[in-house]
Amino acid sequence: MDNPRTVESASTEMIQTKTNDHSLLADIKSLIKVGIINSNLITTFAGFWLALHYTGTLFFDQWVTFLLTMLGTALVIAGGCILNNWYDRDIDPIMSRTSNRPTVTGTMSLSFIKTLGISVSILGFITLLLTTWQAALWGAFGWFVYVVLYTMWTKRKYTINTVVGSFSGAVPPLIGWAAVDPGLQLEALILFLIMFIWQTPHFLALAMKKKDEYKAAGIPMLPVVHGFNMTKRQIVVYVACLLPLPIYLASLGTVFLITAYVLSIGWLALGIAGFFMKDDYKWATWMFIFSLNYLTIMFFMMVIVTLPFPF
């Protein structure tokens, strides 16, 4: 018969091991910012898929390139996010959504995190080089903007930090496209512009929701420096700038155009409604959620309408 104390000790050890494994997984997810990677891979895939569509290339002829593109992009983004966490270790404890990162809790050493960020980034660049050098170059450009121009330079100094960061967030569809068609096309640039313009209203809505935390951390986000009214006007202007872009993708068909304009006009209407709502935080939450749905539906529709069957 088993010794009860031995059984109890073994059970406790198993529970502790599972807890540690869970904590390690949670720390890694926090470092690489899984949500950011997932959303960017959606746009990377859309860029890759549309490049196949416009060049008349079959997916099965490029499936290895596809895997390398997705993996390389994920690694480059993960590396940049890790270095972003490493650099922001002094302000992350102040904000609730970043206070559990391992750079704050100390579950991983800062030197290890920095080395990990650099290593993962390099591995990502090498992986993208196995597709085309143009795809790797776009990946390097996005990484440089996010890590150096955004994280280390503008984030703590200027309200334009959101716009600067938008350049890096708009690169993934270009990486996907360049892996198939290095020369790019007008449609690829339209994907870039959609992503570039989309990010400012998306992140300004988030900044409104987290205004107090950004203020405490000393981050000069637009709502902190110029208030909600100015931020609302900026959001509406950017959303309005999205309206002309779908017409340049008219070759994707009527279903796509209708979907794109319903989303764009709906988002603009919601934005204008913010000038008449009393609860700014509720409006910012609605705008933030709508922006996520806008991005997801828009890019999924680009793929759906180009699937190889009548639509």
**Residue 96: pLDDT over 80:** no
pLDDT higher than 50, residue 12: no
**Worst-scoring range by mean pLDDT, 15-19, 42-46, 223-227, 286-290?**
15-19
pTM for the full predicted model: 0.89
- pLDDT for position 107: 83
Q: pLDDT of 106-151, one tens digit each?
A: 888 899 999 999 999 999 999 999 999 999 999 999 999 999 999 9
At 75-94, the pLDDT tens digits run 999 999 999 999 998 888 88
For 3, counting Cβ atoms within 10 Å of its Cβ (0-12 exposed, 13-18 middle, 19+ buried), the class is exposed
Query: Tell me, what's the pLDDT at 309?
Result: 62
